[in-house]
Amino acid sequence: MSDRTVRPPTLAVVARHAGVSVPTVSKVLRGRSDVAAATRAKVNEVLDALHYPRQEKVAGLSLIDVVLNELNTTWAAKLLAALEFEAREQGLSMVVNSLPDPATRLAPPRRWLENLAGRGSSGVVGVMIELSDAQREYLLSQELPVCIIDGKTQPAGISGVRLLNYEAEHRATRHLIELGHRRIAMVTGAEKNLESARRLEGYRAALEEAGIELDDRLVERGGFTADGAIAATRRLVQCSGRPTAIVYGSDKMALAGYGVLAAQGLRIPDDISVIGFDDTVDCDLAQPPLSTVAQPVAAMAKTAIGILTGSIDSGGGTMFELAAELTLRSSTAPLGRRQAARMSST
């Protein structure tokens, strides 16, 4: 007797046996009414014959799917909690999926659409993902409401929610400039990431507007990872003309940088000011508490769920851009005399 797991048939296999299209099979699985009775009966017959697994819907609730690029971040947990709250307020249940390897791919795997159809989901929220052309066309053909939060691109016909990243990082950098800092470094996020690029543009623009010459040695890539931020911070504090302030592209990277700065004998904010991005729960627990850009997570979730339920008219492809707030704590301070003296001597 073989113990090998037998995978269920794909929608394409069911469609071929039933002599219909894949979208038609999906509509039958989701209980859509716009399928002829004879066609519905034929598809159901094939589904039963091929032992296609059908998942029971939660009684009295509609189901939405949430797919994220990764789950193991404090920001992702905060956003999921906000999405779950908004979904529950609207009488919706929620299924959460994550990408198998967010470091190398942003598009959900092909099997995700199969599972989506099998569950009979009535809407999709994608977080920092990139839909393939085939996935976009499938979702549109099924007339499923979709919202992408902080996507790399905005697929045609798909609505999205995006933070005003440029404006947010511009404001954070300007805050440090107003405190008297001139050698301001930045540790950016992932390469080829739209949010990272826009935050870097905001940082550079704030420096240019203040008449501060850009120094490429003060820009390091941290990749939104703790290890990346540690390596980047080490390079910054060891270079000639060490910065008096560092802007990080995420709280995770900023808090990782704390350890490097302490190991170098630098006190925050006496010797160096630090500002993060996201406003996760860890900011208040840090020593000193971390100043940061607060993403409007609750508003993002409310907008995304509103698009799915139709309470917000998205017009099938509208991008909603939301502003962030600067939350000041104890990790930023005016440029000190000792810092100013060191700067004048370099």
Q: Indicate the range of 20-24, 53-57, 106-110, 248-252 predicted with least confidence.
A: 53-57
Question: pLDDT tens, 280-319?
Answer: 989 999 999 999 999 999 999 999 999 998 888 877 789 9
Q: Higher-confidence residue: 103 or 275?
A: 275
- Please give the C-alpha separations between residue 206 and each of 62, 267, 341, in angstroms, as whole numbers: 46, 25, 24
Q: Of 182, 170, 137, 141, which Cα lies nearest the Cα of 155?
A: 137
| Average pLDDT score over residue span 259-275 | 96
pLDDT category of residue 340 using cuts at 50, 70 and 90: low
How far CA 128 is from CA of 54, 151, 330, in Å, comes to 29, 4, 30
* Per-residue confidence (pLDDT) for residue 343, from 0 to 100: 58
For the question of whether the overall pTM of this predicted structure is more than 0.85, the answer is no
Cβ-contact 33, 58 below 8 angstroms: no
Asked if residue 127 has pLDDT above 70, the reply is: yes
pLDDT at res. 73: 83
How does pLDDT run across 141-192, given as a tens digit for each residue?
Answer: 878 889 999 887 778 889 999 999 999 999 999 999 999 999 999 999 887 7
Distance, in Å, from the CA atom of 99 to the CA atom of 196, rounded to the nearest integer, reads 20
Statement: residue 341 has pLDDT above 60 = no
Q: Helix 11-18 to helix 22-29 angle, to the nearest 10 degrees?
A: 100
Kindly tell me if the per-residue pLDDT of 100 is higher than 50.
Answer: yes
Over the stretch 188-218, which tens digit does the pLDDT of each residue have?
Answer: 988 777 788 999 999 999 999 999 999 999 9
